[in-house]
Chains A and B, each alone.
Chain A
Amino acid sequence: MGFRAAWALVLLLPGGLIHGFPKPRGVEDKSLHNRELSAERPLNEQIAEAEADKIKNISPPENTPGETNYSFVDNLNLLKAITEKEKIEKEKQSIRSSPFDNKLNVEDVDSTKNRKPIDDYDSTKSGLDHKFQDDPDGLHQLDGTPLTADDIVHKIATRIYEENDRGVFDKIVSKLLNLGLITESQAHTLEDEVAEALQKLISKEANNYEEELNKSTSRTENQAGKTPGKVTLKATTQNGFTNRESDETISNTLTLANGLERRTKTYSEENFEELQYFPHFYALLKSIDSEKEAKEKETLITIMKTLIDFVKMMVKYGTISPEEGVAYLENLDETIALQTKNKLEKNATDNKSKLFPAPSEKSHEETDSTKEETAKMEKGHGTLKDSTKDSSSGPGGKTDTPKEKTEAYLEAIRKNIEWLKKHDKKGNKEDYDLSKMRDFINQQADAYVAKGILDKEEASAIKRIYSTL
């Protein structure tokens, strides 16, 4: 596993190179240590202070340990990610017209904006930021004032609305999470805000659309594409949507859904040639039956695409050299090959799938492939050098936990039964003990649920496992 070793080595390097990190105080100032330790200032104070500092004097994200707040700097980081994403998307997608383009175009024209705040915070960039000087993506409003958080949220919502793709948000957020620029809770907050903004947009558009429909019976292709459809960011949005929308939009939904599919399909197919760098992956893709496992194939393609985009972005900003980028992509392909092999071996020998009534329910919950992708990215993120897993509170955190957890529990129960059998060798007491055990477990499981030690699904899973033995 040379790859892993290299990877481990590489990730150890940043440790020494991050300078601004506070070093633990020496014990010679123990009295200071004591005083400091006698009471930590309440969180509110600290946050307020951090906010104030950041507004005054923006510092790079690597140098702000601990308290990252949804502050001005983070907004800018977010913007940067959005703008990059926008750039990449623009390259691939066909020209679209939208009522919102006007606003962007106007901002394009103004080329006298300054880029300093953005330059400041990303110390890894090496002078490839001339593209920002024209401010093509509206980092400032028309009058030159910087965008507020609300504006940014509105922009994201707009973008999602335009593209009718929830995946936009997921991609942005997952990139930011991966870069460590925002925390999970910030991602949630952002999601909420964007959902709200989107909801407003949709209802506004619905009203406009109704008006237009009343005015003229003919609609252009573009308009159809723009009317509110199945775009949902979370359940509440969806509920609001279904409550408010009229019947007209249901027919639009169908046309829109087709449009959506069409769009994602073109996205995947036209970029197949990029995947020539991945012979193994390519072979894998081919091997997947397009009809049966279209969703799977799509997911795979999206993952690879995002990765390639990410690598491109890093090369663009000079974070890595093109050769390194290629090397990594090649490495990746090899890893995929290895994993394929392992997986095939595992398939051949493993037959535990019979004992899993519960988990399959949850694995099919995810119908949105981009949500799955985010979930996977977050999970993958958790297994790596970041010393903790953040699958607990992430939006996608629940996808694999029930399976793994139930397996762990099953394993534990199996060991228990084995041990009990060994230690209760008193004739035919085996069966008797099992039913007694079952009752005891049922009782305990319920007691634990009442106390908050187990949750209901776990308790029922455990009871179910015992009842099948």
Chain B
Amino acid sequence: MAGPRGRALLALCAALAAGGWLLGVGAQEPGESAAGMRRRRRLQQEDGISFEYHRYPELREALVSVWLQCTAISRIYTVGRSFEGRELLVIELSDNPGVHEPGEPEFKYVGNMHGNEAVGRELLIFLAQYLCNEYQKGNETIVNLIHSTRIHIMPSLNPDGFEKAASQPGELKDWFVGRSNAQGIDLNRNFPDLDRIVYVNEKEGGPNNHLLKNLKKIVDQNAKLAPETKGVIHWIMDIPFVLSANLHGGDLVANYPYDETRSGSAHEYSSCPDDAIFQSLARSYSSYNPAMSDPSRPPCRKNDDDSSFVDGTTNGAAWYSVPGGMQDFNYLSSNCFEITVELSCEKFPPEETLKSYWEDNKNSLINYLEQIHRGVKGFVRDLQGNPIANATISVEGIDHDVISAKDGDYWRLLVPGNYKLTASAPGYLAITKKVAVPYSPAVGVDFELESFSERKEEEKEELMEWWKMMSETLNF
């Protein structure tokens, strides 16, 4: 009889005409009809957040609006361009935008690196708007967060893929269309595979952090890297990020390192040295998302294997092996701890569901942000009070070090416990300190390192003193 498609088309026509008429008449009266249009078009709107999909121009406009509303605490910048020339836009929120304040940790959210996994992209736009609104309302949590953190939000790392995915007609989007960038590269398999190197080093000896020393040159010369990947790598190297999350879709879980199996098998729990804190971080996201942490939630698809999921979290490799992913790249090339969050069973759900995804994830997003203020943090300086950059901070019992940033500042995320922290730098004598770490806030521990030459001078002086004393006593 009459197909549902027919009905749909007619409904489309009907609303189209009604809308079209309104727009047509409105052409002559900009002010009034613009508002009328806004009412009609913004199907669901709350406090300036419009819960609808944003294509590239709308994404840009949304970020510009946030900036215009909160010029004192925000700044927009770009990390590079996609293959098709779209800017990889980032909005930064902090009390001193554009400036790294010494001791202030840096956080990032990256969404939509798979172009057809759309929920993350939208959530991050909503988040930017939300943080701005709440800040202006005087929401204490948000105000403190923005004053004490530098938050970077990149709604889409793959704007080209998103356009492709979004251009599909109708509601049901293909599982793969728009996933990769415009060159057909899956960005989450495109990062240098540092896991492989680390696994070899584990057996034969070698570092497992800050690999790829001469990074910039290698990155720029590597023809296999997509422009988006290159942009992100530079970004990670330039800013001393401490904590990050990478938003995806297609399932509902918070995933942590390592992503690649040690043995090369399809799945096998492969823990990294910071397994404890990562589990805690993953939980800090999932526990605030009712759907993600629901123990009786059925898997997204009937035959999915979610046996590795615990409390809405999973080790990456235990779920399935992913080589060349951004998450592990962060951990192994920089100080940044990153988890991968899968936000939705459906990769590109219908627009009307966006509001409920926001409701489900709002608290998780904020809570995860707050995790940055955990563990130990401080400065590494020399005896004159000058900062020592690239000093190594190691923790006894955890085989993974962080290094201090340009101002000598460092941040070391840790679960509660008693630790011995050692700061060392070439040409300086290492110092070890004992620290008792609570759940939060971060404990401040500063180091003043004595350089070898200073010590030599000291020793020389001591010797002179002793000689003087001896000569006076013995009269020579």
Q: Which residues of A contact B (CB under 8 A)?
A: 3, 6-8, 10-11, 13-15, 17-18, 21-22, 24-28, 30-31, 33-34, 36-43, 46, 62, 65-67, 124, 178-180, 183-185, 281, 293, 296, 299-300, 303-304, 307, 310-311, 314, 318-321, 324-325, 328, 331-332, 335-336, 339, 342-343, 346-347, 350-356, 359-360, 363-364, 366, 372-373, 376-377, 379-381, 383-390, 392, 399-401, 403-405, 407-409, 411-413, 415-416, 419-420, 437, 440-441, 444, 448, 451-454, 458, 462
Instruction: Tell me if B38 is interfacial: C-beta within 8 Å of chain A.
Output: yes
Check A37 against B186 for contact (C-beta < 8 Å).
Answer: yes
Check A24 against B250 for contact (C-beta < 8 Å).
Answer: yes
B170, chain A: closest CB distance, angstroms? 6
Check A384 against B12 for contact (C-beta < 8 Å).
Answer: yes
Of the residues A281, A314, A390, A407, contact of B10 by C-beta under 8 Å: A314
Q: List 5 A-B contacts (CB under 8 A).
A: A11-B8, A37-B189, A42-B183, A324-B2, A381-B12
Of the residues A27, A304, A458, contact of B17 by C-beta under 8 Å: A304
Tell me which residues across on chain B come within 8 A of A419, comparing CB atoms.
70, 72, 136
Check A412 against B66 for contact (C-beta < 8 Å).
Answer: yes
Instruction: Tell me if B102 is interfacial: C-beta within 8 Å of chain A.
Output: no
B425, chain A: closest CB distance, angstroms? 36
Tell me which residues across on chain A come within 8 A of B41, comparing CB atoms.
383, 404
Check A300 against B175 for contact (C-beta < 8 Å).
Answer: no
Instruction: Tell me if B432 is interfacial: C-beta within 8 Å of chain A.
Output: no
Instruction: Tell me if B203 is interfacial: C-beta within 8 Å of chain A.
Output: no
Tell me which residues across on chain B come within 8 A of A62, comparing CB atoms.
5
Check A27 against B301 for contact (C-beta < 8 Å).
Answer: yes
Check A7 against B11 for contact (C-beta < 8 Å).
Answer: yes
Check B3 against A405 for contact (C-beta < 8 Å).
Answer: no
Check A379 against B70 for contact (C-beta < 8 Å).
Answer: no
Check A26 against B303 for contact (C-beta < 8 Å).
Answer: yes
Measured in the bound complex, the distance between the Cα atoms of B29 and A30 in whole Å is: 57
Of the residues B57, B72, B170, B176, contact of A420 by C-beta under 8 Å: B72
Known pairs A354-B31, A380-B15, A384-B16 / 19 extra A-B pairs, C-beta < 8 Å: A10-B4, A10-B7, A11-B11, A13-B7, A27-B306, A40-B184, A65-B174, A293-B28, A319-B2, A328-B14, A343-B22, A347-B29, A350-B31, A356-B30, A376-B23, A379-B19, A408-B61, A411-B65, A458-B64
- Total residues of chain B contacting the partner, CB 8 A: 105
Of the residues B29, B67, B177, contact of A67 by C-beta under 8 Å: B177
B144, chain A: closest CB distance, angstroms? 16
Tell me which residues across on chain B come within 8 A of A325, comparing CB atoms.
10
Tell me which residues across on chain B come within 8 A of A310, comparing CB atoms.
13
Q: Which residues of B contact A (CB under 8 A)?
A: 1-25, 27-41, 43, 48, 52-53, 55-58, 60-61, 64-72, 76-78, 81, 87, 89, 136, 166-177, 179-180, 182-186, 189, 250, 266-267, 299, 301-306, 320-323, 348-352
Of the residues A24, A320, A353, contact of B2 by C-beta under 8 Å: A320
Check A324 against B76 for contact (C-beta < 8 Å).
Answer: no
Check B267 against A15 for contact (C-beta < 8 Å).
Answer: no
Check B5 against A124 for contact (C-beta < 8 Å).
Answer: yes
- A-side binding surface: helix, strand, loop or mixed? helix
Across the two chains, which residue of chain A brings its CB closest to B76? A453
Across the two chains, which residue of chain A brings its CB closest to B2? A320
Check B24 against A437 for contact (C-beta < 8 Å).
Answer: no
Check A376 against B186 for contact (C-beta < 8 Å).
Answer: no
Pick the 6 closest A-B CB pairs, nearest first: A353-B31, A180-B169, A319-B6, A380-B16, A26-B303, A66-B177
Across the two chains, which residue of chain A brings its CB closest to B18? A335
Check B15 against A27 for contact (C-beta < 8 Å).
Answer: no
Check B69 against A412 for contact (C-beta < 8 Å).
Answer: yes
Check A412 against B68 for contact (C-beta < 8 Å).
Answer: yes
Check B65 against A363 for contact (C-beta < 8 Å).
Answer: no
If the complex has contacts A300-B21, A354-B31, A453-B77, are A383 and B43 also in contact, measured as CB distance less than 8 A?
yes
Check A27 against B30 for contact (C-beta < 8 Å).
Answer: no
Check B172 against A15 for contact (C-beta < 8 Å).
Answer: yes
Check B68 against A413 for contact (C-beta < 8 Å).
Answer: yes
Across the two chains, which residue of chain B brings its CB closest to A388? B166
Check B182 against A43 for contact (C-beta < 8 Å).
Answer: yes
Of the residues B16, B17, B70, contact of A416 by C-beta under 8 Å: B70
Tell me which residues across on chain A come within 8 A of B350, comparing CB atoms.
385, 387
Check A347 against B177 for contact (C-beta < 8 Å).
Answer: no
Across the two chains, which residue of chain B brings its CB closest to A453? B76
A40, chain B: closest CB distance, angstroms? 4
Of the residues B32, B64, B166, contact of A350 by C-beta under 8 Å: B32
Measured in the bound complex, the distance between the Cα atoms of B18 and A328 in whole Å is: 12
Measured in the bound complex, the distance between the Cα atoms of B17 and A332 in whole Å is: 8
Check B60 against A381 for contact (C-beta < 8 Å).
Answer: no
Specify which of B20, B77, B174 lies most central, judged by the most chain A CB atoms within 10 Å of its CB: B20
B33, chain A: closest CB distance, angstroms? 8
B175, chain A: closest CB distance, angstroms? 4
Check B71 against A441 for contact (C-beta < 8 Å).
Answer: yes
B81, chain A: closest CB distance, angstroms? 8
Across the two chains, which residue of chain A brings its CB closest to B265? A31
Of the residues B30, B184, B303, contact of A359 by C-beta under 8 Å: B30
Check B61 against A27 for contact (C-beta < 8 Å).
Answer: no
Across the two chains, which residue of chain A brings its CB closest to B11? A7
Check B169 against A183 for contact (C-beta < 8 Å).
Answer: yes
Measured in the bound complex, the distance between the Cα atoms of B68 and A400 in whole Å is: 21
Tell me which residues across on chain A come within 8 A of B348, comparing CB atoms.
387
Check A385 against B12 for contact (C-beta < 8 Å).
Answer: yes
Across the two chains, which residue of chain A brings its CB closest to B63? A453
Check B304 against A178 for contact (C-beta < 8 Å).
Answer: no
B18, chain A: closest CB distance, angstroms? 4
Tell me which residues across on chain B come within 8 A of A404, comparing CB atoms.
34, 37-38, 41
Check B11 against A336 for contact (C-beta < 8 Å).
Answer: no
Of the residues A332, A346, A356, contact of B18 by C-beta under 8 Å: A332
Check B78 against A451 for contact (C-beta < 8 Å).
Answer: yes
If the complex has contacts A38-B189, A336-B21, are A321 and B266 also in contact, measured as CB distance less than 8 A?
no
B206, chain A: closest CB distance, angstroms? 26
Tell me which residues across on chain A come within 8 A of B24, comparing CB atoms.
296, 299-300, 303, 372-373, 376
Measured in the bound complex, the distance between the Cα atoms of B2 and A161 in whole Å is: 37
Check A403 against B21 for contact (C-beta < 8 Å).
Answer: no
Tell me which residues across on chain B come within 8 A of A407, comparing CB atoms.
34-35, 38
If the complex has contacts A381-B12, A415-B136, are A356 and B23 also in contact, measured as CB distance less than 8 A?
no
Measured in the bound complex, the distance between the Cα atoms of B35 and A300 in whole Å is: 21
If the complex has contacts A124-B3, A356-B30, are A343 and B60 also in contact, measured as CB distance less than 8 A?
no
Tell me which residues across on chain A come within 8 A of B14, comparing CB atoms.
3, 7, 307, 328, 331-332, 335
Tell me which residues across on chain A come within 8 A of B66, comparing CB atoms.
412
Tell me which residues across on chain A come within 8 A of B40, comparing CB atoms.
383
If the complex has contacts A321-B2, A392-B55, are A26 and B30 also in contact, measured as CB distance less than 8 A?
no
Measured in the bound complex, the distance between the Cα atoms of B354 and A286 in whole Å is: 42
Across the two chains, which residue of chain A brings its CB closest to B91? A453
Check B69 against A18 for contact (C-beta < 8 Å).
Answer: no
Check B11 against A363 for contact (C-beta < 8 Å).
Answer: no
Measured in the bound complex, the distance between the Cα atoms of B132 and A412 in whole Å is: 10
Tell me which residues across on chain B come within 8 A of A376, comparing CB atoms.
16, 19-20, 23-24
Check A363 against B27 for contact (C-beta < 8 Å).
Answer: yes
Specify which of A318, A321, A403 lies most central, judged by the most chain B CB atoms within 10 Å of its CB: A403
A287, chain B: closest CB distance, angstroms? 11
Measured in the bound complex, the distance between the Cα atoms of B323 and A413 in whole Å is: 45
Measured in the bound complex, the distance between the Cα atoms of B304 and A14 in whole Å is: 25
